[in-house]
Amino acid sequence: MKADASAVTRAAPPATAGLLYGIGAYGLWGLLPLYFLTLAPAGPVEIVADRVVFSLVVCVVLIAATRAWHALRDVLRDRRAFSALALAGALIAVNWLTYTFAVLSGHTIEAALGYFINPLVSVLLGVLVLKERLRPLQWAAVGTGAIAVVVLTVAYGQVPWIALALAFSFGFYGLVKNRMGAKVDAVTSLTVETIVLTPVALGVMVWLGVASTLTLTGHGAGHFWLLAASGIITAVPLLFFGAAARRLPMTTIGLLQYMAPLLQFVFAVTVLGEQMAPERWAGFGMVWLALAVLTADMLLVARRRRSRLRAAGLEAGTAEAAEPHSRR
């Protein structure tokens, strides 16, 4: 009993730290709309270009501080890994651009919807691309989500393309990273992705400068440093997420992921004053129902897995206890 208690005591601090890291990561992602609104008069294209360049600066500093140049060099030499991360970079650029446009154009609620839909898209991609077989509750969740999109299409008067673009771009981004497995750590991965995007980002900045619409250097030091901070604001939650993922079970990570779009939704309704018509409430309600079903399935599977592991451990312990007697 004492050994078990001491084991739990030793295990508790990492779990607590993991939860704090997870809350930090998703909390910062949830507050991104507030940050983007402070960057006016910069537009979505410039914000994303600056975000790419300054993210690369932060990543290079982190790699230098951790002396992880060999890991970066290995990925750059691995054609397959580099190609996968280049694709991931293109997908995350689409995601960043769509999200920034949504916030700056008064569609933060629809952006939040995209990240609510994202877990359902990830499940769907698992079936279509990875040939995974869905459990009944997963099918129910995906079906409910599909009906919700139809309801929201009627509510918006058009297909909610911002939400779908965010959900599918991040869904495919997650798929690419999933296929990479644990080969590349978070900082190295983001470094390679931004290396690929930086030439395009610099070209955009030059183009905006020639067109006299670049705001980075023409609106005072405060505006410059707010844009420069995009590198830290991009890297920090990613590092927090990586720290949380190493310390928490996937079920807990899965539950925490709803925190960011929920914060975005509350911010859009209460602070930005975006309107929610009854039809939109109905559509969002169906999305939340689908997520509740998906979460219930995830928790049930996790419980069954723990039960099987516990039973296997008991059987192994019984066998070990019986073995000395059989030798006698």
Question: Is residue 2 predicted with pLDDT exceeding 60?
Answer: no
Contacts 24+ apart (CB under 8 A), 2-10: none
Instruction: In whole angstroms, give the CA distance from residue 37 to residue 102.
Output: 11
pLDDT-derived band at 154, boundaries 50, 70, 90: confident
Question: What would the two tokens of residue 107 be?
Answer: 């569609």
Check: CB of residue 251 under 8 Å from CB of residue 243: no
Decide if 210 is inside a domain. Answer: yes
CA nearest to 120, candidates 153, 144, 96, 95: 144
Check: CB of residue 13 under 8 Å from CB of residue 2: no
Instruction: For residue 119, give Cα distances in angstroms to 124, 212, 230, 293, 300.
Output: 9, 41, 26, 12, 17
What lies within 8 Å, CB to CB, of 39 at 6+ separation is 47, 223, 226, 227
pLDDT given for residue 3 in this prediction: 46
Give the residue with greater pLDDT, 19 vs 12.
19
Q: How buried is 190 (Cβ within 10 angstroms: 0-12 exposed, 13-18 middle, 19+ buried)? A: buried
Question: Is residue 21 predicted with pLDDT exceeding 50?
Answer: yes
pLDDT-derived band at 8, boundaries 50, 70, 90: very low
Question: What would the two tokens of residue 223 be?
Answer: 């505006």
Question: Is residue 250 predicted with pLDDT exceeding 70?
Answer: no
Question: Is residue 165 predicted with pLDDT exceeding 90?
Answer: yes
- Please state the rounded mean pLDDT for residues 58-84: 92
Least confident of 37-41, 136-140, 206-210: 136-140
Instruction: In whole angstroms, give the CA distance from residue 230 to residue 177.
Output: 22
Least confident of 68-72, 165-169, 308-312: 308-312
Decide if 328 is inside a domain. Answer: no
Question: Is residue 13 predicted with pLDDT exceeding 80?
Answer: no
In the chain, the amino acid numbered 216 is L
- Please state the rounded mean pLDDT for residues 77-85: 92
Decide if 67 is inside a domain. Answer: yes
Domain encompassing residue 307? 2-320
Total tally of structural domains belonging to the chain: 1
pLDDT given for residue 244 in this prediction: 83
pLDDT given for residue 182 in this prediction: 66
pLDDT given for residue 311 in this prediction: 75
Q: What is the DSSP string of 179-210?
A: HHTTSS-HHHHHHHHHHHHHHHHHHHHHHHHH
Decide if 299 is inside a domain. Answer: yes
Please give the share of the chain, as a percent, with pLDDT higher than 90. 45
Q: What is the DSSP string of 101-120?
A: HHHHTT-HHHHHHHHHHHHH
Decide if 326 is inside a domain. Answer: no
How many CB atoms sit inside 10 A of residue 296's CB? 13
**pLDDT, tens digit (0-9, with 9 covering 90-100), for 281-321:** 988 899 999 889 888 887 888 788 778 877 776 665 665 55
Q: Which helix (H) or strand (E) holds 58?
A: helix 44-66
Question: Is residue 325 predicted with pLDDT exceeding 60?
Answer: no
What lies within 8 Å, CB to CB, of 103 at 6+ separation is 32, 33, 36, 37, 111
Give the residue with greater pLDDT, 196 vs 278.
196
Instruction: In whole angstroms, give the CA distance from residue 8 to residue 25.
Output: 25
Q: How buried is 249 (Cβ within 10 angstroms: 0-12 exposed, 13-18 middle, 19+ buried)? A: middle
pLDDT given for residue 12 in this prediction: 43
Least confident of 35-49, 58-72, 236-250: 236-250
Instruction: In whole angstroms, give the CA distance from residue 54 to residue 198.
Output: 9
Instruction: In whole angstroms, give the CA distance from residue 200 to residue 63.
Output: 22
Q: How buried is 262 (Cβ within 10 angstroms: 0-12 exposed, 13-18 middle, 19+ buried)? A: middle
